Every structure is written in C-alpha cells, then in structure tokens.
C-alpha cells in the first residue's frame, strides 16, 4: 500500500511538472519579441490606415459647408493614402488625445498641425515636414490685449490645448492657460474678442486664416510679434521606421511634383510647404 501510494505521488508530481512545463512552453519566453509588429505590413494587409485629426482646426482639419472633412493636413494625408492605394479611417479627437492614441495603438498616425520638436522626436517617429511656419499671437484689435512683447504674457489668460507647444510658450512667459476640449476656432477667437481670454499663441498661417474667418470679432494678428520657427509633420509610433520611410517617399514625390505647394496655397493662400523668409527668433530656456 505504501509502495502504491509512493508511485501515485510520484506520478502526480510528474504530471504537475509536465503541465507546468507545458504552460511555460505555450507562453513566449520572450513576450516582447512576439509583441513586435511591422505596422506598415499590417496596414498593407488591411488596406486601410487609421488617422487621428481634430476636424476643428480651420484651414488644417475641419468640416466644410457640405460637412466633408477637409483642410491642408487632411488633403495631404488623403493624397498619401491615394498614392499608397489605401483607404482612410479618420478618428476625430482633441489634439491632447492624439499622441496617446498613437502610443496605445488606437490609431496608426496623427496629422493635425503637430510640431515635430526634439523632445517629441524622442518619443515618436515623425515624417519629413510637410509644413513650415512660426508662432504669433491673436490679440484684441482694440487694445492689443495689453501685449507688446512676449514678456507681456505674464498674468494674461491664453486660450489653448493643455499639451500644445503654444501653451508651453505662454506658460513659460507667465500666462495662465485656459484649456478647451476639441473646440473649434470660433470658440477660441470669440473668447479673446469678448475678454474671457486675452490671447492665443498659435501658428501664423492658422491664426491668419482663423482671424479672417470672423471679421466681426475684435481680434487681429499681432503685427509686431513673430517667434519660434516650426516644422509640422506626421506623428507615428516610435520604432515604425518602415512606415515612416514609406510616407517620406510619398511626401518627397508630392513636394517634387508640386502637390504640396498647390494644397498649401489652396488652403492658406500662401505656400506653407516651404520655409518662411527672414530671421525668426527662437525661444530660449524652454525645452519643447
């Protein structure tokens, strides 16, 4: 009886060991390797690319009078997808949600006038720039919002997204940033006009187009302030080098055949696909 019990215990121990080993074998000893993917291959297989954009940024990403999503950024990515024989699934979200959505895999990339700063390049892949610009301010036309220099931002209320470079600049100079969700240009600009906020630090081309769209508002582009030269690019998950290279090849084709210039002039009345002329001061002491 003792012998049979010993044999049974030995058999049970062996069975448990084999089950444990089997479970271990089914789990990848190097799960990171299994999780690695080639996003470009996945996109090719599905025939579709998922793109984050806001749909609220006049001239870059917005809905026209026919409720069609359009704008410079939107038409750039549509043309890229067309040349790559891909469908597009647009995910509409706020600018503050776009980079986390890339990280989580919810979207394949984001295009929404996103600046490719050195800090962001450490966290994401970026395409070659499709737009060059600089920063300026929207202020009240009646009194300049009391702002005549960057230092005058101290104590002012600046409308903007919580995670944008422009909000970082405003905060750097002492402004209080009033954040919005995925609000449209009208909400931002109206608040400057009625005094709820004082200023919007933003891209020159976008600001110019936005101000022109609301001639009844008490707003203007600050005539004396231009600073922080910028490059806008498509944001992609870090490490997706093949997809980045493919997009860059198409962007280069679009630059060489004039498509980028044509689209920029169509939406901005100026060629925002080339660097602006003149010296534009950098912002010192701020890691962007």
H, E, C per residue of the chain: CHHHHHHHHHHHHHHHHHHHHHHHHHCCCCHHHHHCCCHHHHHHHHCEEEEEECCEECCCEEECCCCCEECHHHHHHHHHHHHCCCEEEEEECCHHHHHHHHHHCCCCEECCCCECCHHHHCCEEECCCCEEEEEEEEECCCCHHHCCCHHHHCCCEEEECCCCHHHHHHHHCCCEEEECCCCCHHHHHHHHHHCCCCEEEEEHHHHHHHHHCCCCCCCEECCCCCEEEEEECCEEECCCHHHHHHHHHHHHHHHHCCHHHHHHHHHHCCCCCCCCCCCCCCCCCCCC
Same domain, 125 and 237: yes
pTM of the model: 0.81
| pLDDT tens track, the chain, 288 positions | 443 444 344 433 343 333 333 433 333 333 333 345 699 999 999 999 999 999 999 999 999 999 999 999 999 999 999 999 999 999 999 998 999 999 999 999 999 999 999 999 999 999 999 999 999 999 999 999 999 999 999 999 999 988 899 999 999 999 999 998 788 889 999 999 999 999 999 999 999 989 999 999 999 999 999 999 999 999 999 999 999 999 999 999 999 999 999 999 999 999 999 999 989 999 988 887
Same domain, 242 and 105: yes
Residue 65 is assigned to a structural domain of this protein: yes
Same domain, 181 and 53: no
Same domain, 54 and 89: yes
Number of independent structural domains in the chain: 2
Residue 3 is assigned to a structural domain of this protein: no
Same domain, 146 and 223: yes
Same domain, 118 and 243: yes
Same domain, 86 and 202: no
Residue 137 is assigned to a structural domain of this protein: yes
How far is the C-alpha of 178 from the C-alpha of 43, rounded, in Å? 38
* CATH number for the domain harbouring residue 174: 3.40.190.10
Same domain, 114 and 171: no
The parent domain of residue 212 ranges over 133-229
Please name which of 94, 255, 67 lies closest in space to residue 160, comparing C-alpha atoms: 94
Residue 285 is assigned to a structural domain of this protein: no
**Domain end point (choices 229, 247, 278):** 229
Give the tokens for residue 174.
Answer: 């002492």
Same domain, 115 and 249: yes
Same domain, 60 and 102: yes
Same domain, 76 and 88: yes
């Amino acid at each position: 009886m003792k012998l049979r019990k010993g044999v049974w215990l030995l058999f049970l121990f062996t069975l448990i060991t084999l089950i444990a080993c089997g479970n271990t074998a089914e789990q990848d000893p190097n799960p990171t390797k299994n999780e690695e993917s080639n996003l470009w291959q996945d996109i090719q297989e599905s025939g579709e690319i998922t793109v984050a954009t806001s749909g609220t940024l006049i001239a870059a990403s917005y809905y026209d009078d026919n409720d069609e999503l359009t704008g410079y950024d939107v038409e750039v990515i549509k043309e890229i997808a067309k040349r790559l024989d891909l469908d597009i699934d647009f995910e509409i979200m706020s600018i503050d949600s776009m980079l986390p959505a890339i990280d989580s895999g919810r979207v394949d990339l984001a295009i929404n006038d996103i600046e490719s700063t050195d800090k962001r390049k450490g966290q994401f892949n970026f395409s070659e720039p499709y737009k060059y610009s600089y920063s300026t301010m929207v202020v009240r036309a009646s009194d300049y919002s009391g702002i005549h220099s960057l230092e005058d931002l101290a104590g002012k209320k600046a409308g903007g997204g919580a995670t944008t470079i422009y909000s970082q600049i405003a905060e750097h100079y002492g402004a209080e940033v009033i954040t919005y969700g995925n609000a449209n240009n009208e909400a931002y600009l109206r608040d400057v006009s009625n005094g709820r906020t004082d200023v919007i630090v933003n891209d020159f081309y976008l600001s110019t187009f936005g101000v022109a769209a609301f001639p009844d508002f008490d707003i203007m582009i600050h005539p004396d302030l231009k600073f922080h030269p910028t490059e806008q690019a498509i944001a992609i998950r870090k490490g997706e080098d093949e997809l980045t290279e493919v997009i860059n090849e198409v962007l280069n084709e679009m630059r060489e055949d004039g498509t980028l210039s044509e689209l920029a002039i169509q939406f901005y009345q100026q060629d925002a696909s080339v660097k602006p002329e003149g010296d534009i001061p950098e912002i010192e002491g701020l890691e962007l």
